[in-house]
């Protein structure tokens, strides 16, 4: 069998073009002579992308023309993404005039058509189902083309439909805009990805910024740490004005930690069994605590809670002539002030029912009941006719009454006599009585002469 050279070249080009279509292989069957004819049998395997939308329709076209048969048949699908197709060309041994025969010309026409179809198929397989020009071109060299979605999978640091735009870290956290791969943060945000909240005025270099909140260094405070911190933050009992505490009512001290005390505690009135005390009000006081006890006897201390709208108190049930220690403090928010102190003594018992027992020309005897409370002594005073006051110290008798006789008085003279009970340095209220000495009787009475109707006397 003889072929012209151009015909052989054309057949070889056809076979070669099939071999480079997409990613496929060709297996040649041996040339089998049969009935003085030649049959060319080739198998082509083309790998297609998975989930590809390409569809290949196989047709079998039998041709009978002067002993010449051409057939293209589908071999079927191998695997999930392979297409295998086979075409057989069987040529009868040509006669000497085959080149000019109509059958041979028709065969060449069909071979040329098959060659064009295979070339088109190769182009489609090379471009892919998306019809682009390849992943490197379509994805700008910064990603790979995903065939099943016809979209780019961009490399790290790139974004966009064709991976041509540099991306910013974390998409600037939606707190900024991306410019040439760098985040331009909106106001109030910072960081490579704009994820950090800025603090006001960068905390004025007096603190550190944590999630947009200033954690101020010691001695500084405020939203931006621009204010001086007050001592102990004013103890929660005042406002800080650039390092100085403005205390609430009732509080005092550089840190407002102390409660103001009730000043000017004073004694208004005393009696044998009571003491009335008063003090200056404390603004903001919730109540006052008054305590008292006899001097030297702290174990018998008594406490009284006085309402805040009252600044005086009458202490009753006391012992006459006893010195008491009285303390008053103000309370606010469970905090007490320093107590204001006062020493006050109840009055000594008053001597009752003093009376004149007897009198002579130059003396007066007085008597009175002893008081129920303890006294150190009695003070007895009387005023002379010349207006001079004389004082006598009289010891308390062990009985129920004490008496005393005033001597060296003038006859027929009226005297004002006072008696006071004394306890320590305290004197009770005086009790008084008026005493009158007897008129002095004449002495040395002598009869001078006697007559019938007269007598002369002298004394």
Mean pLDDT by 10 residues, the chain (459 residues): 41 43 42 49 54 47 46 45 59 58 78 82 62 57 81 84 84 86 86 86 87 87 86 90 90 94 94 94 95 93 95 94 94 95 90 90 92 88 84 90 91 90 86 88 79 83
Q: Over the stretch 177-204, which tens digit does the pLDDT of each residue have?
A: 888 888 989 888 888 888 888 888 889 8
Compute the distance between CA of residue 45 and CA of residue 377 in angstroms, rounded to an integer: 142
Q: Over the stretch 44-87, which tens digit does the pLDDT of each residue have?
A: 555 555 444 444 444 444 544 444 444 444 444 444 455 555 66
Instruction: Please name each of the domains of the chain with its CATH number.
Output: 152-198 (2.10.25), 199-227 (no CATH), 265-346 (2.60.40.10), 355-436 (2.60.40.10)
CB-CB contact of 379 with 354 (8 Å): no
pLDDT at 159: 82
Interstrand relation of 82-92 and 69-78 (parallel, antiparallel or unpaired): antiparallel
Q: Over the stretch 92-111, which tens digit does the pLDDT of each residue have?
A: 555 556 666 777 777 888 88
Q: Over the stretch 296-305, which tens digit does the pLDDT of each residue have?
A: 998 999 999 9
pLDDT at 43: 57
Compute the distance between CA of residue 323 and CA of residue 310 in angstroms, rounded to an integer: 24
Tokens 């290949």 -> residue: 56
Please report, rounded to a whole number, the percentage of residues in the chain having pLDDT higher than 90: 29
The crossing angle, in degrees rounded to 10, of helices 5-19 and 102-127 is 20
Mean model confidence pLDDT for the chain: 78
Tokens 């099943």 -> residue: 148
Q: Over the stretch 380-395, which tens digit does the pLDDT of each residue have?
A: 999 877 788 889 999 9
Geometric angle at alpha carbon 121, from 117 and 123, rounded to 5° = 115
Compute the distance between CA of residue 420 and CA of residue 397 in angstroms, rounded to an integer: 14
CB-CB contact of 147 with 49 (8 Å): yes
DSSP assigned state of 22: S
The CB-based long-range contact list for 63-67 (8 Å cut-off, 24+ gap) reads 63/107, 63/110, 65/103, 65/106, 65/107, 66/92, 66/101, 66/103, 67/37, 67/92, 67/103
DSSP assigned state of 102: H
Taking the model in full, what pTM does it have?
A: 0.49
CA neighbours closer than 13 Å in the CB half-sphere of residue 4: 11
Please report, rounded to a whole number, the percentage of residues in the chain having pLDDT higher than 70: 75
pLDDT at 96: 56
pLDDT at 145: 83
pLDDT at 113: 82
Tokens 């735009």 -> residue: 165
């Amino acid at each position: 069998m003889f072929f012209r050279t151009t015909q052989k070249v054309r057949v070889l080009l056809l076979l070669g073009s099939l071999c480079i279509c997409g990613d496929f292989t060709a297996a040649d069957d041996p040339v089998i002579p049969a009935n003085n004819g030649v049959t060319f049998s080739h198998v082509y395997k083309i790998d297609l992308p998975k989930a590809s939308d390409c569809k290949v329709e196989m047709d079998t076209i039998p041709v009978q023309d002067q002993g010449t048969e051409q057939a293209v048949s589908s071999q079927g699908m191998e695997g999930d993404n392979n297409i295998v197709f086979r075409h057989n060309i069987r040529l009868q041994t040509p006669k000497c005039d085959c080149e000019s025969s109509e059958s041979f010309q028709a065969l060449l026409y069909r071979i040329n058509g098959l060659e064009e179809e295979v070339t088109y198929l190769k182009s489609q397989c090379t471009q892919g189902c998306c019809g682009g020009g390849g992943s490197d071109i379509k994805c700008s060299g910064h990603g790979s083309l995903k065939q099943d979605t016809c979209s780019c999978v961009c490399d790290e640091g790139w974004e966009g439909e064709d991976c041509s735009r540099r991306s910013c870290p974390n998409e600037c956290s939606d707190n900024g805009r991306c410019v040439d791969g760098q985040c331009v943060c909106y106001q109030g945000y910072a960081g490579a990805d704009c994820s950090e909240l800025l603090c006001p005025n960068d905390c004025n270099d007096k603190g550190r910024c944590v999630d947009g909140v200033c954690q101020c260094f010691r001695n500084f405070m405020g939203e931006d740490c621009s204010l001086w911190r007050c001592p102990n933050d004013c103890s929660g009992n005042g406002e800080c004005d650039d390092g100085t505490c403005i205390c609430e009512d009732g509080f005092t001290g550089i840190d407002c930690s102390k409660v103001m005390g009730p000043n000017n505690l004073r004694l208004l009135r005393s009696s044998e069994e009571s003491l009335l005390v008063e003090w200056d009000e404390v603004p903001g006081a919730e109540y006052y605590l008054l305590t008292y006890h006899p001097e030297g006897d702290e174990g018998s201390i008594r406490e009284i809670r006085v309402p805040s709208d009252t600044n005086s108190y009458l202490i009753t049930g006391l012992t006459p002539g006893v010195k008491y220690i009285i303390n008053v403090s103000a309370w606010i928010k469970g905090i007490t002030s320093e107590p204001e102190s006062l020493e006050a003594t109840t009055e000594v018992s008053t001597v009752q029912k003093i009376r004149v027992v007897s009198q002579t020309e130059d003396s007066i005897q007085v008597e009175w009941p002893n008081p129920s409370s303890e006294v150190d002594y009695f003070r007895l005073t009387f005023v002379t006719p010349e207006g001079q006051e004389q004082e006598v110290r009289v010891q308390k008798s062990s009985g129920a009454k004490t008496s005393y006789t005033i001597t060296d008085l003038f006859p027929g003279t009226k005297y004002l006599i006072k008696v006071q009970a004394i306890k320590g340095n305290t004197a009770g209220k005086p009790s008084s009585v008026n005493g009158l000495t007897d008129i002095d009787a004449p002495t040395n009475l002598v009869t001078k002469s006697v007559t019938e109707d007269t007598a002369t006397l002298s004394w």
